[in-house]
Chains A and B, each alone.
Chain A
């Protein structure tokens, strides 16, 4: 069997496409897993997107906990003779997959950017060395656990006539000693940097949160309207929500134009934007690393350069 699990519906649907391809090649079937409350319409949707079977694992679990979810998946894997487990690569998905692989003493590949069968073996590619290399890894054991980030695979076309089984089971797991004491949602503006065509991005060269206006103004005239940032702006200073954070541990973007203002260009930032079309850097330090990763650069104070650039672009675009 090929198992697919993610807390995110979109990611599950994307993974189902790859799962169906793998199932064809390995002459087996796909199972999508839903943990928590029963949701027949979601199960139907997963079938329409390629699941041969949906396993609805009913539990009274209010919240996700890696220990308990790994235990649940462990039982399913053993009961279904699973060959491959595809898990959505968000933070919970990664820690869940890793824990599961540790318990079962099996192989696991995190953040795969491709999955295929080569010489009869499950093979996956992943980006290593902060985007400087791609490593091709092959499982010599089974089952194989692989996590895949969002947008790596497209969903297959939806087929509402597709038939599949829906099976309901009671979750079986050992209770974890840990408890979830609090959940605080963070503010979000529904920004999607991954799909943005133009991104104006800022880093610690900004002195105050209010100065983000300069970045916004430029984004506005570029009609990109999307702003990005380095990790410190989102994670330390919290001037922008996580959805703007670009880099190795943030979002990977590929706009046709990426403007980096007051960003030093550390390799972990570059890892998130190296696939951009044209890169422009603005930095007051002529030796800043960002210039090495830029097509065009202006050495100067962003407080002067950004307004000038905004005006000049406005004039050019009419």
Chain B
């Protein structure tokens, strides 16, 4: 089973601040990490590989520092990485044409796994968009996957119902956070991942047209001010103060 996992490097938005003078989010200097659900995608790929054999390729469109994140995924158990530098002002059409172009170039794959969505832009557009470009069946929001020899079976969690789909290979699946618990690599694995290959591919080497369809024209920060009145313990007195405040705020009617 040859598996491609699409994984993205994201900024850690929990540390994000808004610049008060410009009302823009401050993006520089933020820590970067692997998009959380992409670790679930790699974990699922490892489980499938352990049971069926094969190879796991991690594919990322990202800046050079994304290599550090890819190494974490190789340490978990992926076999190799392919990193492609993004063009300027990359939109979804450009990104997914690049990813699809790279996937076409990787010979012989059975399964592409994406995350349900990323933590920073959170659109969930990338997976199904790639499936559309490559004309592959898609199974999104999978909370459980069962791999058989000539077909995959996956449960889509739609909130109000669970739909079980079956598809032959090749197929694109996007997974939810609940599908598994990503492993923490051991020190040995981290050390040995250094020797696993990460190739740099250029967009020019892919047979794709990279053209923007949507342009970001503005980005405005949203900040909510809160009173932050925190009572250090649950004494009767504090509970009463809280209730009095809520009454004053007019929310106890």
B120 on interface, CB distance cutoff 8 Å:
yes
Q: Which 9 A-B pairs have the closest CB atoms?
A: A102-B132, A107-B213, A300-B234, A102-B129, A178-B167, A242-B159, A99-B132, A98-B128, A297-B230
B133 touches A186 (CB 8 A): no
Q: Which of A96-121 contact B (CB under 8 A)?
A: 96-103, 105-111
Asked whether B57 is an interface residue with its Cβ less than 8 Å from the other chain, the reply is no
Whether the Cβ atoms of A101 and B132 lie closer than 8 Å is yes
Cβ B119 vs Cβ A296 within 8 A: no
B122 touching A297, Cβ below 8 Å: no
- Contact at B132–A178, with CB atoms within 8 Å? no
**Which of B's residues lie within 8 Å of A, judged by CB?**
13-14, 16, 18, 24-25, 91-93, 96-97, 100, 116-117, 119-133, 135, 137-141, 153, 156-168, 171, 176-178, 212-224, 226-234, 236, 238-240, 242-247, 249-252
| Cα(A294)–Cα(B139), bound, Å | 38
Contact A108 B92 (CB under 8 A): yes
The interface-forming segment of A127-135, A152-160, A200-208 is A127-135
- Residues A291 and B219 in contact, CB atoms below 8 Å apart: no
Q: Which residues does chain B contribute within 8 Å of A39, judged by CB atoms? A: none
Residues of B within 8 A of A129 (CB): 13, 16, 25, 120-121
- Docked CA distance A128–B123 (Å): 9
Answer whether residue A3 sits at the interface, using C-beta atoms and an 8 A cutoff.
no
Q: Which residues of B contact A97 (CB under 8 A)?
A: 125
Cβ of A236 < 8 Å from any Cβ of B?
Answer: yes
- Contact of A95 with B228 in the complex, beta carbons under 8 Å: no
**A-B contact list, 5 entries, CB within 8 Å:** A67-B138, A98-B125, A133-B24, A183-B162, A295-B226
Pick from A140, A236, A245: contact of B215, CB below 8 A. Answer: A140
Assess the A140–B251 pair: CB atoms within 8 A: no
A299 interface hit (Cβ, 8 Å): yes
Residues of B close to A297: CB separation below 8 A: 228-231
- CB-CB under 8 A from A298, the residues of chain B are 230-231, 233-234, 238-239, 242
A98 with B213: in contact, given A179-B165, A186-B159, A278-B249 (CB under 8 Å)?
Answer: no
- The answer to whether B125 and A279 touch across the interface, beta carbons within 8 angstroms, is no
Chain B CB within 8 A of A59 CB: no
A182 to B249, CA, bound (A): 50
Assess the A135–B218 pair: CB atoms within 8 A: yes
CB distance from B6 to the nearest CB of A (A): 13
Closest Cβ of chain B: how far from A69's Cβ, in Å?
11
